[in-house]
Structure 1
Amino acid sequence: MSDFRYPLVSIDDAGLEIVAKIPVSVLHPEVAIRPPMREALLDGRLDKVNGDVFFRGRISGTYVRPCDRCLTETCQRLDIQVTWIFSNTRPEQDNGEEPDDRLYPIEVDDSVDLVQPIWDEIALGEPRRMLCNPDCRGLCPRCGENLNHSACGCKKKPDADDGDLETGLKRLAALYPELKNRIKPEE
């Protein structure tokens, strides 16, 4: 049983206030990749309305992972307002509309389990791209120097007669020498 499962009988007319620090590891489904967040904070309230249960509140936390350009550890904050509906009934979708992604089932033991909606928000809120700053210059593709800290000594562009610096395409051509004879020079 989940630590974030609340029996309906525990939700009175005044609602049920919930403030909890949640280790992401307890939310993590076995088949999913864990987001780069260690802990989330859930702050909100459960209310019963006409047989359904509503959760309104906030989820906050910090994603920590390497910058996509320079690999420096980077943090990005998650702070979102959420509303979830828990119901025993699923609305009919005959009209071609998308189902409400905020709707979750009330469990068979007459409780609401917040694990899945919390996980959904954390997983969907993860930024696809994280940069240490918008002007991150990244790493030098030749020597690996972090260009945010200092310039490297590498040449910007290789000279045409510089035999030591080959482009990636020249290296690719070396892997397939039999193709060299099949390529016709441009006229």
Structure 2
Amino acid sequence: MFLDITDLIKKKTDEKEFSLEINRDMLKRDDFEVKLISPLIVKGKATLDGEDIIVKGSIETSIKSFCARCLKSVDYPLNINFEERFSKKQGEDIYPMLEDRIDLEDMIVDNVILSYPLKVLCKEDCKGLCPECGLDLNEGQCDCLKDAIDPRLEALKSFFKGE
């Protein structure tokens, strides 16, 4: 996923627009792994900033995940806006720049990781699973006792009798 920046470096142009479509099944880095169900669409523009290149744009894709409440499979769209710096100098929050091109892969994966939702839901009002029998409460009610008290906490019940 390289972007040729020769024209920017030679100052033939002030900015370079680009559009990439990346077809992959999976994005991986260390312990992070996400299944992609649509291509990664990366659009943006690169501009020269002194000796550095600033890349602004967006990443669009859909990922396969699971509902945090009922565990159903969910297709979740990701729309990510980014602005990143590429340089020959090393530093925090700076991606490396080669002589006449920049590698966008690490930047794309970093932005997907940072934008990955903490909790994916199949719908906002998902009722989840019954903690006793495991029935999907979106499909109906179960016959489990709702007022069952954990025997370890039964003694706390007496604290509220006087009120």
TM-score range, shorter chain: 0.7 to 0.9
Residue deviations 1:40-83, cap 9 Å, x none? 21111122332221211111222321101101122333212211
Q: Distance in 2 between matches of 1:71 and 1:9?
A: 48
Give identity over the alignment, percent.
27
TM-score for the superposition, normalised by structure 1? 0.67
Aligned match of 2:60:
60
Unpaired stretches in structure 1, ≥5 consecutive residues: 92-98, 161-166, 170-187
**3-state DSSP of counterpart to 2:121:** coil
Q: Distance in 1 between matches of 2:15 and 2:61?
A: 25
**3-state DSSP of counterpart to 1:78:** strand
Contact conserved, 2:27 with 2:33, CA < 8 A, in 1? no
Give 1:25-40 correspondences, 5 Å limit.
25=25, 28-29=28-29, 31-38=30-37, 39-40=39-40
Contact conserved, 1:15 with 1:47, CA < 8 A, in 2? yes
Contact conserved, 2:25 with 2:36, CA < 8 A, in 1? no
**3-state DSSP of counterpart to 1:116:** helix
For residue 6 of structure 1, the aligned residue among 3, 14, 35 is 3
- Following superposition, the deviation at residue 9 of structure 1 comes to 1.6
Contact conserved, 2:5 with 2:102, CA < 8 A, in 1? yes
Provide closer, same or farther for how the CA distance between residues 24 and 33 of structure 1 changes in structure 2, counting only shifts above 3 A.
farther
For residue 118 of structure 1, the aligned residue among 108, 124, 129 is 108
Aligned match of 1:137:
127
Give 1:1-187 correspondences, 5 Å limit.
4-9=1-6, 11=8, 12-13=12-13, 15-25=15-25, 28-29=28-29, 31-38=30-37, 39-90=39-90, 99=92, 101=93, 103-107=94-98, 109-158=99-148
- Following superposition, the deviation at residue 5 of structure 1 comes to 1.2
- Larger radius of gyration between Structure 1 and Structure 2: 1
Residue deviations 1:93-149, cap 9 Å, x none? xxxxxx4x2x21112x43210001100000111011111223221111222211012
Q: Distance in 1 between matches of 2:42 and 2:5?
A: 19
Read off the aligned partner of 1:48 and give its amino acid letter: L
Aligned match of 2:156:
none
* More strand by percentage: 2
Q: Distance in 2 between matches of 1:131 and 1:168?
A: 32
Q: Distance in 2 between matches of 1:14 and 1:142?
A: 63
**3-state DSSP of counterpart to 1:138:** coil
Read off the aligned partner of 1:126 and give its amino acid letter: Y
Unpaired stretches in structure 2, ≥5 consecutive residues: 153-163
Q: Distance in 2 between matches of 1:27 and 1:8?
A: 25
Contact conserved, 2:53 with 2:86, CA < 8 A, in 1? yes
